[in-house]
């Protein structure tokens, strides 16, 4: 299969990834990519208070052709440990799973919310990720575009609606208010769920959800401009070194045995075939540092400390190497400069080639990176090569909105928190301004991707504690309002 061009490669690698990576490094391969989750690999071993259930789910919620009545076993997880019970109409917090095995998402801020609000937690697995494969098995589900065609955000939201309604019925919990919580792509799903199914959840906490990074609502270069700003704000000399390093890599690559020189200098596990491989690797290192620039590790600061702190007289690439060493403290094995072969196409690859088309690109001198404009024709060609399908770059805004969001959500929506950390490059595509008194933006200057949903620790900085407190206060008000109305029914 043809190698995807840089556009698709970056799109596939940059996109969202997952939030709880700090909790579960196994979730992330290669520092920021989204890999395919296989059903054969073990799920995270859950503490005993989590009950795993399988629901007989409809493969196609939107078609009545006789041959589309197929079902699959959809995994969801319940935790009643904190629940006040149906008789007291205690709330249910619903975690709208993102592009990963949902068992990795159990230890988030939602646990603290659950204890505080005496809620039961319902974690929903996104179809085609982890255990929840239509067509009986992963091999069948990933066969071709016909079997992958049932992988879409709309189908996933309908799955979630179906399970929530049925779980409430089975628990006689019809009066219990449900609140959607999600992170990253799952945060987009949480906010869309509230918009599409307002009769099922009373509100949504959408953490780090770039719902405006579609259809050029957000400038294409926004993501990399924020990455660049994170580095400039940390150290201008560090930024300058990185900016100069790309042409330096080219200069050395052009020398006789230049690629060998670079391979040795960067201690790559296998010899470089092109200088682009090295540049892509470094780019992923910088963008993932920015996206996950969370306490207590602060990888941007750590990288720059290495770059700036190299001994006097160290050349540019020597400084870059020192930056990598500093970021991965104690790292002394070789660097696995991965290739981007999509031999095992992930479910996320499919989603980016169908609906989740985020036009991310940047021109010359706009960022600390070499120019890499977004080109929908090249992107389409890659998707045709890999899956035989043509992306629908305007569908997400048609389906869920996005343009003129302030007026649109201001006119009809209620009870959504859009949480962001401004160091997260995806925050540029998030909702950063209050839309109304109940559709609100809660962002922090120092936060990164999904900082607020990480499990609280005693060492958390004040700004993070304050962000979470604000979210708790808002959710309390939703629940209080719900009970006030219930009492007068």
Ligand X SMILES: *[C@@H]1O[C@H](CO)[C@@H](O)[C@H](O)[C@H]1NC(C)=O
Among 113, 121, 163, 204, binds ligand X (CB under 6 A): 163
Determine the size of the site formed for ligand X (CB under 6 A). Answer: 30
Residue 30 in tokens: 């290669």
- Choosing from 167, 181, 287, 310, the residue that interacts with ligand X (CB under 6 A) is 167
Q: Which of 208, 424, 452, 454 is catalytic?
A: 424
**Interface with ligand X, residue 71, by CB under 6 A:** no
- Are 147 and 127 spatial neighbours (Cβ–Cβ below 8 Å)? no
Given 449, 451, 452, 454, the catalytic residue: 449
Nearer to ligand X, 67 or 332 (CB): 67
Inter-CA distances, 225 with 27, 290, 300, 390, Å: 27, 11, 15, 28
Q: Per-residue b/e over 367-377, b at no fewer than 16 CB within 10 Å?
A: bbbbebebeee
Q: How far is the CB of 214 from ligand X (least distance, A)?
A: 19
Q: Which of residues 37-66 bind ligand X (CB under 6 A)?
A: 38, 53, 55
Q: Which of 365, 407, 411, 457 binds ligand X (CB under 6 A)?
A: 365
Contact residue for ligand X among 378, 397, 436, 438 (CB under 6 A): 378
* Smallest separation, CB 437 to ligand X (Å): 35
Residues 194-253 that bind ligand X (CB under 6 A): none
d(CA 257, CA 87): 75
Regarding 308 and contact with ligand X (CB under 6 A), the answer is no
Catalytic residue among 184, 235, 245, 451, which? 184
Per CB under 6 A, contacts with ligand X among 324-353 are 337, 339, 343-344
| Position 273 contacts ligand X (CB under 6 A) | yes
List binders of ligand X among 251-270 (CB under 6 A).
Answer: 268, 270
Give the pairing type, strands 71-79 and 120-124: antiparallel
Chosen residue from 138, 349, 382, 471 binding ligand X by CB under 6 A:
138
Judged by CB, which is closer to ligand X: 172, or 398? 172
**476 scored as a contact of ligand X (CB under 6 A):** no
Letter string b/e over residues 319-355, b meaning 16 or more CB atoms within 10 A of that residue's CB: bbbbbbbbbbeeeeeebebbebebeebbbbbbbbbbb
Phi-psi region of 399 (alpha: psi -120 to 50; beta: other; left: phi over 0): alpha
In the annotation, is 424 catalytic?
Answer: yes
Exposed, middle or buried by CB within 10 Å (0-12, 13-18, 19+), for 45?
exposed
Q: What angle do CA 289, 463, 430 make, to 5 degrees?
A: 60
446 carries an active-site annotation: no
- 236-253 vs 275-291: helix axis angle to the nearest 10? 160
184 assigned to active site:
yes
**Cβ-Cβ contacts under 8 Å for 380 (sequence gap 6 or more):** 390, 391
- The H-or-E segment that residue 96 falls in is strand 92-96
Q: Is 277 in the site for ligand X (CB under 6 A)?
A: yes
- The contact set with ligand X (CB under 6 A) reads 5, 38, 53, 55, 85, 87, 138-139, 143-147, 163, 166-167, 170, 268, 270, 272-273, 277, 337, 339, 343-344, 365, 373, 375, 378
Catalytic sites, residue numbers:
184, 424, 449
């Amino acid at each position: 299969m043809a190698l995807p061009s840089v556009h698709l490669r970056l799109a596939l690698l940059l996109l969202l990834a997952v939030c709880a990576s700090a909790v579960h490094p196994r979730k992330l391969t290669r520092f920021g990519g989204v890999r395919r989750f296989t059903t054969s690999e073990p799920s995270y071993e859950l503490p005993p208070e989590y009950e795993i259930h399988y629901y007989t789910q409809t493969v196609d919620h939107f078609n009545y052709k006789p041959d589309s009545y197929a079902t699959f076993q959809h995994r969801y997880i319940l935790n009643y440990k904190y629940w006040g019970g149906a008789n007291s109409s205690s709330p249910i917090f619903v975690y709208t799973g993102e592009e990963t095995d949902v068992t990795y998402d159990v230890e988030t801020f939602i646990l603290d919310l659950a204890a505080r609000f005496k809620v039961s937690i319902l974690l929903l697995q996104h179809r085609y990720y982890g255990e929840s494969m239509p067509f009986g098995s992963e091999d069948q589900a990933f066969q071709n575009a016909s079997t992958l065609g049932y992988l879409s955000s709309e189908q996933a939201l309908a799955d979630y609606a179906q399970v929530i309604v049925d779980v409430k019925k089975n628990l006689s919990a019809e009066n219990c208010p449900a609140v959607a919580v999600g992170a990253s792509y799952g945060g987009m799903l949480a906010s869309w769920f509230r918009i599409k199914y307002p009769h099922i959840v009373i509100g949504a906490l959408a953490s780090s959800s770039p719902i405006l990074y579609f259809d050029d609502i957000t400038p294409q270069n926004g993501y990399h401009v924020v990455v660049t700003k994170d580095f400039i704000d940390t150290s201008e000399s560090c930024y300058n070194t990185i900016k100069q390093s790309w042409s330096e890599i080219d200069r050395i690559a052009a020398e006789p045995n230049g690629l060998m020189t670079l391979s040795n200098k960067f201690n790559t596990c296998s010899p470089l075939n092109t200088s682009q491989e090295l540049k892509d690797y470094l780019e992923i290192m910088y963008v993932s540092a920015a996206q996950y620039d969370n306490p207590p590790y602060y990888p941007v600061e750590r990288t720059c400390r290495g770059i700036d702190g190299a001994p006097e007289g160290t050349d540019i690439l020597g400084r870059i190497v020192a930056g990598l060493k500093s970021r991965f403290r104690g790292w002394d094995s070789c660097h696995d400069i991965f290739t981007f072969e999509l031999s095992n196409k992930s479910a996320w690859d499919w989603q980016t080639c169908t609906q989740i088309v985020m036009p991310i690109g940047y021109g010359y001198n706009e960022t600390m990176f070499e120019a890499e404009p977004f080109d929908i024709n090249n992107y389409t060609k890659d998707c045709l090569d890999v899956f035989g399908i043509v992306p629908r770059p305007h569908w997400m805004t048609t389906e869920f909105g996005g343009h003129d969001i302030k007026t649109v959500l201001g006119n009809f929506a209620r009870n959504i928190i859009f949480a962001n950390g401004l160091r997260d490059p995806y925050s540029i595509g998030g909702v950063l301004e209050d839309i109304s008194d109940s559709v609100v933006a809660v962002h922090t200057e120092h936060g990164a991707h999904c900082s607020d949903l990480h499990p609280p620790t005693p060492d958390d900085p004040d700004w993070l504690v304050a962000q979470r407190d604000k979210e708790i206060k808002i959710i309390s008000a939703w629940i209080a309002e719900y009970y006030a109305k219930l009492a007068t029914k």
